[in-house]
Amino acid sequence: MNLQQRDKKHIWHPLTQHQTAAPPIAIVKAKGALLWDEDGNQYIDGIASWYTAMYGHCNDLIITSVSKQLKELDQVVFTGFTHEPAVQLSERLMAILPQNQQKLFFNDNGSTAVEAGIKMALQYHYNKGEKRDTLIAFEEGFHGDTFGAMSVSGLSVYNGPFEEFFLKVIRIPTPQTEEPQELLTSVKELLATHACAAFVYEPLVQGAAGMKFHDKKGLEKLLKLFKDHEVLCIADEVMTGFGKTGKNFASEYLDIPPDIMCLSKALTAGIAAMSVTTCTQQIFNAFLDDTIAKGFFHAHTYSANPLACSAAIAGMELLTSEAIKDDRARIRNRHLEFAARVKDHPKVAEVRTLGIIFAMDLNIATDRYGMLRNQLFDHFMEKGVFLRPLGNTIYILPPFVITNRQLEQIYDAIESCLPLV
């Protein structure tokens, strides 16, 4: 039996309706920006495998780092112990994070990074003797699939069966102008009538919503309003973090930093599952007490796994290198050129770019996982390009190491689909 047939016997795939879905494509090899299936077909990974393998698949520097660590320390409990890779990674992260971030908590993945951030915020107020039970989040946000992260997410396609079990959350629209007065007025009323603990947001770009952008100045005004009311601001940078928006973190575009940050995906360069939740010294201090129960009693078995930390350290070295900085600028410029090329096409409703993110909305309505989306996916794969359209949005978020020729193949595949929709 081939891999597809063996897979079908026992495996339940994510985001899949197995009654109607096509068999999964069996990938057997990856290098740089390329994937190969078991039949020898080659595909350009146009989304860096969900924004993780940003330095390319099987990167030699990262492999060397992890291999060396594997011979020294593979895994150890992180409660009561520490180790060099975790300490070194914390030092390197703090050197590039917003200056108000001072403490770092290790988790397993993006969802649990958000989960920990929400629990930190709720317990922060609890430890101070305040009961604040309401969370605020953007409409159409996506923050993960654990219950707290789902609660603050606004995409019902993922959340539908579970919504009656959620935490108390109020969703607000994203600011689309520099002066979102109507939004600010409604939030002021919300703050006056609810005990709000935290605001959870994707800064500037809502990834799973279809790479939707919102206004920087408008977001700053919103953050200031929350800070004035001691509502903790939790920036979910799981998708936007580590260079994708043109800066190391999207929060760097803003004059008002978050109180808590959630990081994952590109953190370990696609090598291992790990995330971190960072926070200010003020938040950390609220958990210091002679009473044990005021501590943050939250843990993961693989917290700060040494192999994942070693991959992240190598990734940080690459992120801050001149070569990767040049690659990020190159991809940004190529995206801008392609955007100018297609923006006036009658089948294109809107084109937008930020850093290495390119997004294009088709001038046609379709369900998020509808027939058109499947047809587009199949069309791109036939062209040797791996992209995952989100409804009528086609987006590119490639590895930093992608070549200009590979980018052009992606652009050509997108242009060739336009007459078909």
Q: What are phi and psi of 297, to 5 degrees?
A: -90, 75
Question: Is residue 150 a contact partner of residue 162, using CB atoms and an 8 Å limit?
Answer: yes
Instruction: Please state which CATH number belongs to domain 322-398+413-420.
Output: 3.90.1150.10
* Residues 194-204 pLDDT 10s: 999 999 999 99
pTM greater than the 0.85 cutoff: yes
Residue 43 is encoded by which pair of tokens? 């595909």
Residue 356 is encoded by which pair of tokens? 């290495």
Residue with tokens 């060397």: 64
Question: Is residue 279 a contact partner of residue 259, using CB atoms and an 8 Å limit?
Answer: yes
CA distance 30 to 48: 11
Beta bridge partners of 261: 235, 278
Residues of the chain with CATH 3.90.1150.10: 322-398+413-420
* Residues 157-186 pLDDT 10s: 777 788 888 999 999 999 999 999 999 999
* 3 state SS of 176: coil
Q: Which segments in the chain show pLDDT lower than 50?
A: none
CA distance 236 to 213: 14
Q: What is the DSSP string of 8-54?
A: HHH---TT--TTTPPPPP-EEEEEBTEEEETTS-EEEETTHHHHT-T
Residue 327 is encoded by which pair of tokens? 């690659």
**b/e burial code for range 231-253 (CB count within 10 A of at least 16 → b):** bbbbbbbbbbbbbbbbbbbbbeb
What's residue 165's pLDDT? 87
Residue with tokens 């770092």: 104
Give the angle 394-171-244 at the CA atoms, nearest 5°: 40
CA distance 206 to 203: 8
What's residue 247's pLDDT? 98
Write down the number of H helices and E strands in the chain: 14, 16
Q: What is the DSSP string of 300-317?
A: -TTTT-HHHHHHHHHHHH
CA distance 406 to 396: 12
Q: Domain 63-319: state its class.
A: alpha beta
- Of 259, 294, 260, 288, which Cα lies nearest the Cα of 276? 260
Those residues whose C-beta lies under 8 Å from the C-beta of residue 182, and which sit 6 or more positions away, are none
Beta bridge partners of 105: 277
Residues of the chain with CATH 3.40.640.10: 63-319
Question: Is residue 137 a contact partner of residue 143, using CB atoms and an 8 Å limit?
Answer: yes
Other CB atoms within 10 A of residue 217 CB: 14
What's residue 154's pLDDT? 87
Q: Taking the C-alpha atoms of 152, 156, 160 and 164 in order, what is their torsion angle to the nearest 10 degrees?
A: 40
> Which residue type is seen at 414?
I
Query: How do strand 42-45 and strand 205-206 relate by DSSP bridges?
Result: unpaired
What's residue 161's pLDDT? 85
- Of 154, 182, 167, which Cα lies nearest the Cα of 119? 167
CA distance 408 to 331: 11
What's residue 6's pLDDT? 93
Residue with tokens 């070194």: 88
In total, the chain counts a number of residues equal to 421
Beta bridge partners of 44: 34, 385
Q: What is the helix (H) or strand (E) element at residue 327, kind and residue range? A: helix 322-342
